[in-house]
Amino acid sequence: MPQIFPRKANSLPAVSLMGALGGGIVVVLVIWYYFSPRFTDVGYQPAQPVPYSHAQHAGQFAIDCRYCHNHVETSEHANIPSTQTCMNCHSQVRTESLKLLPVRESWATGTPIPWVNVHFLPDYVQFSHAAHVNVGVGCESCHGRVDQMEVVSLEEPLSMSWCLDCHRNPEEHLRDPAAVVQMGFNEEVRADGESFAAYVDANRARVEAEGIQPPQNCSACHY
Amino acid sequence: MATTSTYHDTSLAYPDGVPKTLADAPLVAGNLSFHDVTELVAGHTEKKTPLFWFFGFSVALFLMGIFGLSISYLVWNGTGTWGVNNPVGWGWAIVNFVWWVGIGHAGTLISAILFLFRQRWRTSINRAAEAMTLFAVACALVFPTFHTGRPWLDYWMLPVPNQMAMWPQFKSPLMWDVFAVSIYGTVSLLFWYTGLIPDLATIRDRATGLRQKIYGILSMGWTGSNRHWRHYERAYLILAGLATPLVLSVHSVVSFDFAVSIVPGWHTTIFPPYFVAGAIFSGFAMVLTLLIVARKAYNLENLITLDHLEKMNIIILVTGTIVGFAYITEFFMAWYSGVAYEQYAFRNRMFGDYAWAYWIMMSCNLIFPQLFWFKKFRRSIGVMFFISITTNIGMWFERFVIVVSSLHRDYLPSSWDYFSPTIWDAGLYIGTFGLFFTLFFLFLRFFPMVAIAEIKGVMPQANPHFYDHAHGDGAAGDASEATVEAVPAKSDEVGR
């Protein structure tokens, strides 16, 4: 029988088998990382219509988050403040600033400022700020160190597994509701392992005492 | 070639005369030699494509166009374009899925179970039946895939790590389906392909140019050496062993989709064996439908003889009667259980809104196959073709009756409704015939439709003592020549 293929074709089955195996693993790993919100979404930092600095207002001036986002404790939605909230101060402070021109325009015409949403959740997810804030999930746990951001960017992936990480282990993330707006708190409690363990233990007791049961069923968020 | 006539003489294979019973009948008729079989089967992939093939293939492609249209319309608009409504959430999609999967059972039953039971007659039909199985499973998978409504999220059914931390619900029979059917499809494909390798090599050895290259790649370097055959036989046996439980498990798991629920008419323990019997019943009917036509069109009547068809008819008779017995058992259990809902469900089947479907099912599945008690009908091409068609109609209606008549009378009378399919239900169902026949016509054109190497193994010449009689006749010189002649010396006779 004549040879149809060269001798080196003998290695083809082994090579293709290994290639399929290796290729399969590579594809899974690539999708696992590059198709996840940790890669695609984190770091999203859209340009805002007004060069408003959270670093200055929330950091330097230490204005309480809830001064502007004043519905977080009562509403599902953490509201974007209206122009009126800005003008509470800026009708007297920096009234001539060019940077504030869009705010004054909005104030004069009654047209809202088109702030750009940074923290998107899919339409089929229901998330209540009030439920989280009142039980003691710090602002920074989801939004990062906003007090250090000139322009707000997305810090956390906001993926479902990321939500579940906390819902499954609430004791690692809860804090006293009074300290909910405190920035740098998470870093502080995690500074050394021993005190963090004590902190988690205390939280565990609290979770038990208050019956905090973050739901893990589908209809908790998808309804 | 003075000796050729010697080994074409059946009196040598059957010195005591041609056997009278079905069990002893020769598996290959027409006094074919090994080379004749090769010519006959491999030749169809080499000759000019016959006109009827182009005709059949263009019809299949036309139906395939309907398939493409229906799928596109479905994906664009969603499953609301189907006739499914509130109580009947599982309409034709599930009916068609179960029907196609059921048809897909014959191939593996023929190739695996009949192989393990040393049913040598399987060799004539196993290749085409396995191909049919694969194509039927492909058609079946279309329905649940698109019934999810968002097929691009179907990977949710696979245990793949993802950013949602979502994991399949392994408590759901629908998940078991995903695994049962995909494992079945994979093993069937491996089994079919393993069996194809020696035959693809035969075609390769007869081919030149690009054809030789393509069949060379497909036959994976098969040379027909003793070592290759040893590995091949071992692999084939292992695959047969793996496939055997799958024949029983796949349709059992499909039946769990129904049996695990609490819907009256579904919630019965008889479902797994009853579904498996029904699947074999419909699968054999489909094999018959295809082979009755193919053996005629491709002149394979010597390989797929009337005896083969008769044996398949016996299996249809047996499984059809089991299915009919299951129908009657269900009625007995409904009465005996004393559960009002169950009793209503079965009364409703017989006399309710879908009584017409029920009686189609009963006559096609239980009554018509009883004709096969008579040998005359078992050996009549016309009758068996008719029954193979009515069996497939009946088995489709069986699933229709189970799915629709049970669902349309919910526990809650306020939600009772009547299910009517839309044109898009019909379009997708007809479209899957396009997919099925397109694949089957390509198979007929490019692959050996009968297992060449295997069928040689059941021919009288394969018996090591086949030529001994010539020896005994005193023509010693001639006989030894004949023995040498019979050993396949040419390259196209790698194999046995």
Per-residue pLDDT averaged across B273-295, rounded? 92
Residue B299 pLDDT: 86
> Which of A 68-97 lie inside 8 A of B, CB atoms?
none
Cross-chain CB nearest to A160 (options B163, B221, B494): B163
Q: Which of B163, B194, B218, B222 to mutate to test the interface with A (most CBs of A within 10 A)?
A: B163
Q: Residues B309, B244: contact at Cβ < 8 Å? A: no
Residue B487 pLDDT: 43
Residue B479 pLDDT: 41
Q: How confident is the model at residue B72 (pLDDT cuts 50, 70, 90)?
A: very high
A191 contact B CB<8A: no
Residue of B nearest to A9 (CA): B221
Whole-number Å distance between alpha carbons of B39 and B19: 27
Residue B186 pLDDT: 92
pLDDT one digit per residue (tens) for chain A, 223 residues = 568 888 888 888 899 999 999 999 998 888 888 888 888 889 999 999 999 999 999 999 999 999 999 999 999 988 999 999 999 999 999 999 999 999 999 999 999 999 999 998 888 899 999 999 999 999 999 999 999 999 999 999 998 989 999 999 999 999 999 999 999 998 888 888 888 999 999 999 999 999 999 999 989 999 8
Residue B19 pLDDT: 55
Residue A1 pLDDT: 58
Cross-chain CB nearest to B163 (options A4, A10, A159): A159
Q: How many contacts does A have with B, using Cβ atoms within 8 A? A: 37
A160 contact B CB<8A: yes
Q: How confident is the model at residue B20 (pLDDT cuts 50, 70, 90)?
A: low
Q: CA nearest B427: which of B129, B146, B160?
A: B146
Report CB contact under 8 Å: B166, A1: no
φ, ψ for residue A174 (rounded to 5)? -75, 155
Average pLDDT of the residues of chain B: 85
Q: Which CATH number fits domain B33-472: 1.20.1630.10, 1.10.10.10, 3.90.1150.10, 3.30.590.10?
A: 1.20.1630.10
> Using a CB-CB distance cutoff of 8 angstroms, which residues of chain B are in contact with residue A28?
160-161
- Locate the DSSP E strands across chain A: none
Report CB contact under 8 Å: A36, B163: yes
Q: From the CA of B451, how many Å to the nearest CA of chain A?
A: 22
Long-range contacts of B253-260 (CB under 8 A, 24+ apart): B253/B173, B253/B176, B253/B177, B253/B180, B253/B181, B254/B98, B254/B101, B254/B102, B254/B177, B254/B180, B254/B181, B256/B173, B256/B176, B257/B94, B257/B173, B257/B174, B257/B177, B258/B402, B258/B403, B258/B406, B260/B173
Report CB contact under 8 Å: A160, B160: no
Cross-chain CB nearest to A1 (options B160, B165, B491): B491
Q: What is the DSSP string of A43-80?
A: T--PPPSS---HIIIIIIS---HHHHSTTTTTSSS-PP
A47 contact B CB<8A: no
Per-residue pLDDT averaged across B136-148, rounded? 92
Cross-chain CB nearest to B213 (options A4, A28, A161): A4
Residue B435's Cβ-side half-sphere holds a number of Cα atoms within 13 Å equal to 23
Report CB contact under 8 Å: A36, B204: no
Per-residue pLDDT averaged across B379-384, rounded? 91
Whole-number Å distance between alpha carbons of B323 and A150: 74
Report CB contact under 8 Å: A161, B162: yes
Cross-chain CB nearest to B216 (options A4, A160, A161): A4
Give the model confidence (pLDDT) of B409-421 as tens digits: 888 888 888 999 9
Q: What is the ipTM of this complex?
A: 0.70
Give the model confidence (pLDDT) of B451-481 as tens digits: 888 888 888 888 788 777 654 444 444 444 4
Residue B469 pLDDT: 62
pTM of the model: 0.83
Residue B200 pLDDT more than 70?
yes
B11 contact A CB<8A: no
